[in-house]
Amino acid sequence: MRTGDFAKWTRRFEDERERRRVQGDPDWGQSATLHPAVWASIQRFQVGEDGDGANLVGKAEEAGDGDYAQAIRLFVAEEQNHARLLARLLAAGGVPTLPGHWSDTVFVRLRRFLGLRMELLTLMIAEVVALRYYRALRDGTHDSLTSDVAGRILSDEQRHVPFHCERLHASLVELPRAMRRPVMAVWQLLLLAVSLVVAADHGPALRRLGIGRLRFVADVAASSGEVVSAVLAPRPDAWTSVD
C-alpha cells in the first residue's frame, strides 16, 4: 500500500466527528416506546457494537500505514459511539443493556485468531448485515427517537463499508488473480449463512419492523454483489447503497 492512500479516510472520519459534535445528541428527553421483541433485538445489536477494538487497531498498526491505522482508530470510535447511542436509547425505554450475547462472542473470538485480511472480511459480514438492520429500524417504527438513532448509525455504516472495501482491495491484490473472485464467493456464502442466523434470531423484531425473515435475507444477499464489485475494483466515491 502506498503511504497516504488512507489520508482521505482519516479526514472524512475527522470531518464526521466534528459534524457530530456540532449536531449534538438526539433528544434523550423523549421517551421511546417499542414492542418487546424490538427492544430485545436492539439489546443484542448494542452488545455487537460495543468493544474497545484493540485487536483490530493493533493489526492495523502492524500493517505499516499510519494513515490507515489512524482511520481504523476513528472507525472504532464511531462503533463505540453506536454502542453508546443504543445504550441511551434502551435507557430511554427503561430497558437494560445485556452483559453479552453468544453471537457477539463467536464473532469476537473468531476475529482475534485471524490476520487483518480475514478479520476485515469477517467484520464486513457484520457491517453489511447492519446496513439492512438499521434501515429496517429507522423506517419500520413510528418512534421518533428510535428512527433518529438508527438513522445516525446507518449513515455511519454507509461510510464504513466502502472504507473496508478499499482496504480489502489492497489486500486481495496481493493474492494471485485467480484466487480473488473465489475468496469473495466464499465470503458471499458466509454472509448468506450469517444473515439466515440473524433473520432467525431477530425474526419477531423484523416482522414488527415490517420486513419478514426471507425479505431480510434476500436484501442482504442482493447488496453483497455491490460489495464484491467494490472490493475487486474499488470506486469508493461511487458507493450507491440504498439509504
81 neighbors 20 (Cβ within 8 angstroms):
yes
Q: What pLDDT sits at residue 48?
A: 82
Using pLDDT thresholds of 50, 70 and 90, give the confidence band for residue 49.
Answer: confident
Q: Angle 100-223-193 (CA atoms, 0-180°, nearest 5)?
A: 50
130-142 mean pLDDT: 96
Q: What pLDDT sits at residue 84?
A: 96
Per-residue pLDDT for 200 more than 80?
yes
**The three grid cell numbers given for residue 204, joined into one nine-digit string:** 419477531
User: How do residues 19-28 score in pLDDT, each as one tens digit?
Assistant: 999 999 999 9
Of 18, 4, 29, nearest to 145 by C-alpha is 29
Q: What is the pTM of this model?
A: 0.88
User: How do residues 143-184 score in pLDDT, each as one tens digit?
Assistant: 999 999 999 999 999 999 999 999 999 889 888 999 999 999
Per-residue pLDDT for 103 more than 70?
no
Per-residue pLDDT for 39 more than 90?
yes
60 neighbors 74 (Cβ within 8 angstroms):
no
Using pLDDT thresholds of 50, 70 and 90, give the confidence band for residue 90.
Answer: very high
Per-residue pLDDT for 4 more than 70?
no
Rounded Cα–Cα distance for residues 20 and 151 (Å): 13
3-state secondary structure of 32: coil
Rounded Cα–Cα distance for residues 103 and 43 (Å): 12
Rounded Cα–Cα distance for residues 103 and 119 (Å): 16
Cβ-count burial 6-22 (b if 16+ within 10 Å, e if not):
beebbebbeeeeeeeee
Q: What pLDDT sits at residue 2?
A: 44
Mean pLDDT for the chain?
87
Q: Please state, as a whole number, how many other Cβ atoms lie within 10 Å of the Cβ of residue 163.
A: 21
Rounded Cα–Cα distance for residues 144 and 138 (Å): 9
Distance of CA 220 to the CA centre of its chain: 13
Contacts of 130 (CB under 8 A, 6+ apart): 45, 153, 157
191-195 mean pLDDT: 95
Contacts of 205 (CB under 8 A, 6+ apart): 35, 37, 38, 40, 41, 42
